[in-house]
Amino acid sequence: MVVVLIIFALAVFVLPNVWAKWVLKRHTRGRDDYPGTGAELADHLLRRLGIEGASVERTEYGDHYDPETRCVRLSPDNYDGRSLTAVTVAAHEVGHAIQHHQGYAPLLARSRLVGVAQKAEKLGAVLMMAAPFLFLLTRLPGGLAIVIAMAVISFGTAALVHLVTLPVEFDASFNRALPLLKEYVPPYDMPGARHVLTACAFTYVAASLASVMNLGRWLVILRR
């Protein structure tokens, strides 16, 4: 039983990330037939779609869209790269900029929840480590259960953020980026673009499952 659980955990947490990295690397070959880099495509799309105030920057902290600064940030390989991976990832991040520009409710909800979740997750970790000591100090009936319940609530906030993230990422990929890419990427490259978008989405699915499983683990502890 333990071996089965370990294999399941590896399948959930490791394989999606390994597969995503393999797919992204597979399509990083430079393409002379592409008219521009990932950054150039992102900048072009932002201007073409009339998303004022948005910009494109190089980053060392992973590809993402920052709603606070209205900035599409791309890793060096995707910023300067002239490959299927570079333009696909760039289009995906522009998809988030489109969501923001149009007031897409799940993106706005995620943006509000992220800051709360980060603080709540830190609080939850502190409470879980301090729970036995707090119980000894208070000696209140059910004191330990109360502390653990507070920690579970904090971890639950993180799980909620991950669950809200899923529709945001899938919408940015398949409802926003994919239709745009059809106008710029040759038809024979579209299956590869879809694979890149799918691989990226699977990493978020894995993170969501991990978060929910972590919450479930503490719920089991609380029931005891």
CA distance 35 to 216: 49
Q: Is 52 a catalytic residue?
A: no
Q: Are 92 and 197 in contact (CB under 8 A)?
A: yes
CA distance 175 to 94: 12
Options 40, 60, 93, 121, the catalytic residue: 93
Q: Are 104 and 91 in contact (CB under 8 A)?
A: no
How many other CB atoms sit within 10 Å of the CB of residue 139?
7
At 15 the three-state DSSP class reads helix
Q: Are 128 and 201 in contact (CB under 8 A)?
A: no
Q: Are 93 and 63 in contact (CB under 8 A)?
A: yes
Write out the catalytic residue numbers. Answer: 93
